[in-house]
Amino acid sequence: MTHRPTSRHGDQTLALLTDPYRRLSHLFEQAGADVVETRLALKETTCLRGREAARIFYDETRIVRAGAMPAPVRRTLLGEGGVQGLDGEAHRARKGVFMSLMSPARVARLGELFEAEWRRAAVEWAGEDDIVLYDALQPVLTRAVCAWAGVPLEPHEEAKRVRHLRALFDAAGSRGPRHLWSRHARRRVDAWLGSIIEDIRAGRLSPDPDTAAHAWAWTRAADGEPLPIHTAAVELANVLRPTVATSVYIVFVAHAMQAHPDAARLADADAGRRRAFVQEVRRFYPFFPAVIGRVRAPFRWRDLVFPEGRQVVLDLYGSNHDPAHWTDPEAFRPERFSDGSGDPFGLIPQGGGDAATGHRCPGEGIVVELMERAVGLLADLNYRLPDQDLEIDFRRLPALPGSGFRMETRDAALNEGGA
């Protein structure tokens, strides 16, 4: 599919809010094209899908992010002034700080902290009749990433911090009271982390030099001055929030292990197969639905003119299920990744291109590390699944099984035999 008829369905904003992951794919299939023109939020918008479209979207000479992100997303999920809204040298400089925190040794260290926190939590889970994995994971991930990032987490404040970090990604895409709750949580997270930045600069806190808290406290802006307190806090939150949001992907790991037990057993026994299993989870399951940009300067692609300022949307979920790139895309097949690789413009659940220089998520290695560890931890956890709704709710953002993945764990403990 290469041509691009115009959508005749009017503004798609409400339809996307109702079905954020699948609506764009529906338009592509209906049009018989992988480029469709429509309107979103009353703006003329070009929607793209697929590997070649991702190459276009992540070409900064053509598409930029500054000024493109909708205000509700900036004010909740991402925070005002964060790296996601920058382009050019400003983006590369800010991105370099994130990448400096993501060495293999540092990523492995976070994995070790996560595993230790999981094992401690599993002792408590064993005494409960029923846990919801999605809910249970967030305190575990919060404790692990705060310790890793050099962010003090007082026991009496832990539940509040977990609720606020969760709201940044779990309620950001909602409407009405839940969105307002996410806005409130953003203010509280920014204030909390801003106070930590201030304490570091004043010498009241001294985190290790290789931590995110230390890095963002002393990162300097283009004028040579330290980043404003609020901006540094937003970027520190951009380390904590995505790590806690990995709870979504770990639930999908559990879901895939239940749905495909033979593949899960292979993944638990072999590191290469584990990586392939995790990559297929990231391709197959919904995470972030789409990304938005705007045209920097006019250009032509596939006989279509992209005028300056045009809003452009890349369908991430649809691209990961694009039948032009993936054979039988609705089938779960870890062997797609048997060579351990992932095409940087084909597999794009967290953005495309080069993480070091482009807008691909710098924390992707963390996500893969935590998911791989979760495969072994879930295999070692003694639990059973009660009757529940395990169908993925695509209307929810982020999408999840309807039940959040309930597990009966009473009198269970970590063992060697699996679930």
Spatial separation of the C-alpha atoms in residues 364 and 82, rounded to whole Å: 17
Pairing of strands 311-315, 43-48: parallel
Spatial separation of the C-alpha atoms in residues 48 and 31, rounded to whole Å: 12
The reported pLDDT for the residue numbered 419 is 40
Examine residue 415 and state whether it is found in any structural domain, yes or no.
Answer: no
**Per-residue model confidence as pLDDT tens digits over 28-48:** 999 899 999 999 989 999 999
Percent of the chain beyond pLDDT 70?
95
Task: Report CA Rg, the chain.
Answer: 21
Pairing of strands 35-40, 6-11: parallel
Spatial separation of the C-alpha atoms in residues 332 and 281, rounded to whole Å: 8
Examine residue 297 and state whether it is found in any structural domain, yes or no.
Answer: yes
Given a contact cutoff of 8 angstroms between Cβ atoms, the answer to whether 115 and 390 are in contact is no
Q: Answer yes or no: is 361 a known binding residue.
A: yes
pLDDT exceeds cutoff 80 at 411: no
Would you list the DSSP string of 84-98? GG--HHHHHHHHHHH
pLDDT-derived band at 113 (thresholds 50, 70, 90) equals: very high
Examine residue 299 and state whether it is found in any structural domain, yes or no.
Answer: yes
Domain that holds residue 357: 7-406
Spatial separation of the C-alpha atoms in residues 269 and 290, rounded to whole Å: 34
Q: What is the CATH number of the domain that holds 143?
A: 1.10.630.10
Given a contact cutoff of 8 angstroms between Cβ atoms, the answer to whether 393 and 248 are in contact is no
Long-range contacts for 403-406 (Cβ within 8 Å, ≥24 apart)? 403/132, 404/132, 404/133, 404/134, 404/135, 404/251, 405/132, 405/133, 405/134, 405/251, 405/254, 405/255, 406/130, 406/131, 406/132, 406/133
Closest listed residue to residue 387, CA positions, set 414, 408, 417: 408
* Domains of the chain: total: 1
Examine residue 418 and state whether it is found in any structural domain, yes or no.
Answer: no
Q: Is 332 exposed, middle or buried (0-12, 13-18, 19+ CB in 10 A)?
A: middle
Examine residue 416 and state whether it is found in any structural domain, yes or no.
Answer: no
Examine residue 419 and state whether it is found in any structural domain, yes or no.
Answer: no
**Per-residue model confidence as pLDDT tens digits over 174-224:** 888 998 999 999 999 999 999 999 999 999 999 999 999 999 999 999 899
pTM recorded for the entire structure: 0.94
